[in-house]
């Protein structure tokens, strides 16, 4: 018999959740097969909340999951999946409803998630559960034609965080939020004219600048560490998106951020 229970009630461990994740994402629209350490680190940095997360367990095996994070009064779906042989039987719907009910009972205000354009089954599921699109997001890979650090200096995250806050016109998504990234070893550059870029291992988490030329300089400086990946650039940021395209960046994924506004039960 299949049980839908919160992660702590299930008695399974993170190793079992990792196995289920690898199986459920084995036919995903993009390759996503992290090793156990990377999977656990991603859960930890995003704020995985075991009591807010639900699993479907059948005969001791995790066959479906909704891995959820909590921060303040917000919830975020880190990942959801159902093993291939168990799909189309309403498991993800039941897991989603359980996670939403738990969020409402905890007094959360909103539930957030991202879904890749073209993942029709997931998008239909989220719409069915009441989620609505808040914004479109682009993901780029950039092999910069001319890396150049000369107009920027390396700085600490505290300093660049202020500069980014000053010049940003949009909020980073959950995975690039300051709370998510602040525990990682970060590389940051500050521009002499105002603005900054922060990332880790070629992944750009946040970038904002006073003008287009400063933005271009920051990308050139960051590219001195190697090729860059920018996940979840707001598509409405036409200045940054046009600059990336001019530099020859490849837009490899389009995503939608979705939000479910939760009723106040108190
Ligand atoms: C998306 C996923 C979690 C759905 O799991 P599931 O347990 O099969 O989902 P359900 O049986 O509860 O179906 C939920 C809804 O999804 C949609 N859906 C499910 N399978 C579908 C399909 N093959 N085509 C179109 N819509 C589909 C339907 O709207 C369905 O509701 P309905 O049956 O009332 O119309 C599963 O396909 C999966 O693990 N995919 C790979 C990993 C992934 O993409 N995760 C989401 C990342 S954002």
Q: How confident is the model at residue 226 (pLDDT cuts 50, 70, 90)?
A: very high
Please work out whether the CB of residue 88 comes within 6 Å of at least one atom of ligand 1. Answer: yes
Least confident of 8-12, 28-32, 68-72: 28-32
| Minimum CA distance residue for ligand 1 atom 40 | 81
Please report which residue ranges of 106-155 form alpha helices under DSSP H.
120-128
Assess whether pLDDT exceeds 80 at residue 87.
Answer: yes
Residue 188 alpha carbon to ligand 1 centre in Å:
39
- H helical segments located in the chain: 7-10, 14-24, 36-46, 91-105, 120-128, 157-167, 178-181, 212-222, 238-246
Domains plus CATH for the chain?
2-108 (3.40.630.30), 139-254 (3.40.630)
Contact by Cβ (8 Å): 62, 20: yes
pLDDT band, very low/low/confident/very high, at 31 (cuts 50, 70, 90): confident
Q: Provide the Cα torsion 117, 119, 122, 125; round to 10°.
A: 80
Spacing, Cα 120 to ligand 1 middle (Å): 8
Could you give the angle at the alpha carbon of 21 between the alpha carbons of 255 and 12, nearest 5°? 135
Q: Is 230 helix (H, G, I), strand (E, B) or coil?
A: strand
pLDDT of residue 46: 94
Structure-model confidence comparison of residues 183 and 249, the more confident one: 249
**C-alpha R_g of the chain:** 20
Q: Is the pLDDT of residue 14 over 90?
A: yes
Q: What is the pTM of this model?
A: 0.94
User: What pLDDT does residue 30 have?
Assistant: 86
Residue 160 · residue 221 · CB < 8 Å = no
Pairing of strands 203-209, 228-234: parallel
| The token pair that represents 83 in the structure block | 């093993």
> 159: Cβ–Cβ under 8 A, 6 or more apart, which residues?
188, 190, 196
What is the rounded average pLDDT of the residues 117-131?
Answer: 97
Percent of the chain predicted with pLDDT > 90: 93
Residue 147 has pLDDT above 80, yes or no: yes
Ligand 1: which residue has its CA nearest to atom 43? 81
Quote the mean pLDDT of the chain.
96
Residue identified by tokens 């159902």 is: 82
**CA 73, CA 67: separation in Å to the nearest integer?**
17
Asked if pLDDT for residue 36 goes beyond 70, the answer is yes
User: What's the pLDDT score for residue 98?
Assistant: 98
Predicted pLDDT at 66: 98
pLDDT value of residue 266: 66
Q: Which atom of ligand 1 is closest in space to residue 24's alpha carbon? A: 39
Reply yes or no on whether the pLDDT at 109 is more than 70: yes
Question: CA 235, 237, 243 angle in degrees (round to 5)?
Answer: 100
Residue 265 has pLDDT above 80, yes or no: no
Tokens matching residue 172:
């980073």
Residue 127 CB–ligand 1 contact under 6 Å: no
Q: Is 119 in the pocket of ligand 1 (CB under 6 A)?
A: yes
**Residue 89 in contact with ligand 1 by CB distance below 6 A:** yes
Q: Burial code of 182-203, b = ≥16 C-beta within 10 A, e = fewer?
A: eeeebbbbbbeeebbbbbeebb
The single-letter DSSP state of residue 120 is H
Kindly give the pairing relationship between strand 74-82 and strand 61-71: antiparallel
Say how far apart CA 134 and CA 155 lie, in whole Å. 33
């Amino acid at each position: 018999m299949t049980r839908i229970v919160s992660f702590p009630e299930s008695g399974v461990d993170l190793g079992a959740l990792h196995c289920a994740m690898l199986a459920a994402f084995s036919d995903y629209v993009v390759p996503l097969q992290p090793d156990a350490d990377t999977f656990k680190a991603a859960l930890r940095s995003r704020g995985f909340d075991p009591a807010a997360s639900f699993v479907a367990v059948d005969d001791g095996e995790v066959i479906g999951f909704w891995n959820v994070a909590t921060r303040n009064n917000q919830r975020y779906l880190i990942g959801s999946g159902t093993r291939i042989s168990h799909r189309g039987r309403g498991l993800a719907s039941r897991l989603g409803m359980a996670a939403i009910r738990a969020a409402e009972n905890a007094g959360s205000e909103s539930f957030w998630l991202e879904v890749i354009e073209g993942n029709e089954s997931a998008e239909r599921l989220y719409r069915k559960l009441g989620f609505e699109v808040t914004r479109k997001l682009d993901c780029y890979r950039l092999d910069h034609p001319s890396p150049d650090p000369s107009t920027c200096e390396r700085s600490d995250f505290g300093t660049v965080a202020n500069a980014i806050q000053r010049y940003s016109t949009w909020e980073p998504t959950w995975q690039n939020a300051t709370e998510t990234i602040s525990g990682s070893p970060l590389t940051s550059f500050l521009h002499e004219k105002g603005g900054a870029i922060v990332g880790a291992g070629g992944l750009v988490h946040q970038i904002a600048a006073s003008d287009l030329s400063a933005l271009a300089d920051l990308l050139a400086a960051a590219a001195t560490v190697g090729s860059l990946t920018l996940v979840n650039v707001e598509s409405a940021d036409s200045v940054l998106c046009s600059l990336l395209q001019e530099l020859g960046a490849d837009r490899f994924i389009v995503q939608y951020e979705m939000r479910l506004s939760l009723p106040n039960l108190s």
